[in-house]
Structure 1
Amino acid sequence: MRNPIVILHGWSDNSSSFKALAHFLKTRFGEAVQPLYLADWLSMHDEVNYADLAQAMQKAWLALGLPTAPQSVDIVVHSTGALVARHWFTQYYSASSNPIKRFVQLAPANFGSHLAHKGRSFYGRAVKGWNQPGFQTGAAVLTGLELASDYTRQLAQRDLFAADTWYGAGKMLSTIFIGDTGYSGISAIANETGSDGTVRICGANLNCRCLSLALDEQQQLIPGSLSWRNSQGAIAFSVLPTENHSTITFKGRHAPANKLTASLLFSALTVTDEDYQTDPQHVFAWQQQLDSLNPPANSYQNKRSQILCRLTDQHGLGVSDYFLEMYRTAASDNQFEENLYRGFLRHVHAFSQDPANRAFYFDLEVLDRLRQDHKFQQLYLSFSAQPHFKPPRQPVGFNTIAANAAAGLRIPITELERLFAPHQTLLLEVQLQRVVADSVFKIQRG
């Protein structure tokens, strides 16, 4: 007998939206799918946060008598439901005691949504079509869902970069599906290239990296400070052409939009540990099967990546006002750099609760074109941060870097994809040295 299945909806939704999906699963699995549960959670109350939801989920889970033995339940989540589920199992279970075996994520907002900070009026008119002022939108949930939020960064540390691996053979078998098509009609105002209308493809993917480094007063890399970490475990990922954030969940008259969606979802709920055994190149059979059935696009067209950057000083305090500098050689200021800023860097968002956290969104098609330039052998990343250190007028702050100086992080062209991998997120943690003039504190002999 197979595991029971739980379906968990996303923000501003409810379980009734997933009756078509539940019917499909019952049809394909027959009696073996019983019991199947449709979970409901309060996503639109402003004071309800993720910790509340995790606690309530645990209470409901135990009250219903759902299995808690390791790997005894399968779960299908949509959008923000992925964050709720990840918070729940990392709060109440360990990687070895987790009751989830197959974790199927449909358009998960694992690193947030570009819509989360748009405001009530935007959601009400463009996304929901409501025409009533003053409704609650789930403020606490949306804050965590905002791009570059502390919440999604901290959640990643709990499962993706934890000491014990949560994902892969012998643990949780996770598959992520997301569409590449936006909405139509008035809802098209929500669309963003490289997204499914609500979630960026790179923000759904849990295969990610974390890079931390420290720069001195002249923004030279401090020896020994550079550290790369890859997310732990095998996690399957596939982009489904023509699906959007809604159709992928069997919603609407024409859902699903991709003829492979139904069969791939069924397969994701039948995978075994053997399907996730990785070879020395970290490739596993289930991912290879997905790639053969639904081949990844070979070109960089519409491929995006994002860097979620947190900039702090040597005291751990956030730097709230800064600009990301990009150039290929010292003192270069030409068409190449203009293309970097006008084409390659597509969007910047500062997290509303802490602007030291920023999301930088990149168009890899532009980067690929720039790589064809034979003079492009490296890329420098540095920071222009406020306040600028200019004693005595400004006795504390950050040094500005001369135009003829090469500073910051140097990235050889051979390593560019470590930072800018198609459909992936990089968590960047940078410490920048804040300078304090001697005039700030003096001691004189009496």
Structure 2
Amino acid sequence: MTTAARAAALRHTVPTPPSPLHLEAAYGAHNYHPLPIVLTRGAGAYLFDDAGRRYLDMMSAYSAVSFGHSHPVLVQALTEQAGRLAVTSRAFHTDRLGPFLQKLCRMTGMARALPMNSGAEAVETAIKAARKWAYKVKHVPEGQAQILVAEGNFAGRTTTIVGFSSEAQYRDGFGPFAPGFASVPFGDAPALEAAITPHTAAFIVEPIQGEAGIVVPPAGYLAAVREICTRHNVLMICDEVQTGLGRTGALLACDHEGVKPDGLTLGKALGGGLLPVSAFLARDDVMAQFTPGDHGSTFGGNPLAAAVGHAALLLLEREHLVQRAAEQGAYLMAQVQAIAHPAITEVRGRGLLVGVEIDPAFASARAVCEALMHEGVLTKDTHHTVVRLAPPLVIEREQIDAAVQALARALRRLKA
């Protein structure tokens, strides 16, 4: 057999390697239902698949990629710090954590910060702080502290957090759940006041609900919540993991009403789209309840995370991304509303956090997202009826135009 013939025979006997989609299906848990696309790299507001096709990212990883993909300033901060010191645990001090915490507290106006990794960890930290504050400061009887939450909330996937979710699927099969939580309607300040008892420690609320479908409360709601919580000596804790750091056109979404919470959770964008970084921030008397040994995290506040988080905060200021989100978000909202397609029943949001409600009689929001993928735009539906449009804050005006035109084409494609 000639060399060429042997090579040809070998090609016929070597099996084709399985695709990444097949490998995920075979070896991964089926707890996600991704769009059928394999991404390999990203740059700015764009993503690229394994065939080299370019897509506009109109989701930005639920706000985690607010600075765009692979921002050179953040990549440099990551690589330089990784080459020096990445992880030590909080058993020792490092030169990176202090400056990061100082910048974070000064920007947000909060007294102290406790760094963690995921947004869910930040919320769990807030729960622990609120309960201990209730017992040690408010003198609620031990074991009876109550935390109020808003219906439609999404704060993470731990068993405690899904226990106070109003979404049945998030709870199904995962009980028993921790007691001590009660829900009130989102956007209803009188309902909040009616639910408060002498044992109420805190109210945890998203200023705009993300996973519920980009739900914006009535004007004045957060200010009313602030007044009620102050009057009843209840901690107001704003969950800004998704809405914070410029996403809504203000540094914090609660800033739109001039509200300063007693506690604050941040995450997602804090890691610059490169690694998980989160934090719980609070006033002094709340954070003072943590003493050595009470709480911690092996990776929380590691020097790599602190370096990237600090660089992300500086970048947010230097590139004026908060103002940019306000301006570009207003433009995006106006352009989507101008589509005037009968499938769109409502467009709502603030800044670059926009939800497009789709009439289920026309199509599911999932079907719209799949059609958008074929038009070169990537995003994800929420609750089957809402298409999320939340691009990186660095998105350009012409990219917004391209995304909106793609949405119009996708709707026409589905109608056809």
Q: TM-score, normalised by structure 2?
A: 0.29
Structure scoring higher RCO (CA < 8 A, sep ≥ 6) equals 2
Structure with more helix by fraction? 2
Q: TM-score, normalised by structure 1?
A: 0.27
Structure with more strand by fraction? 1
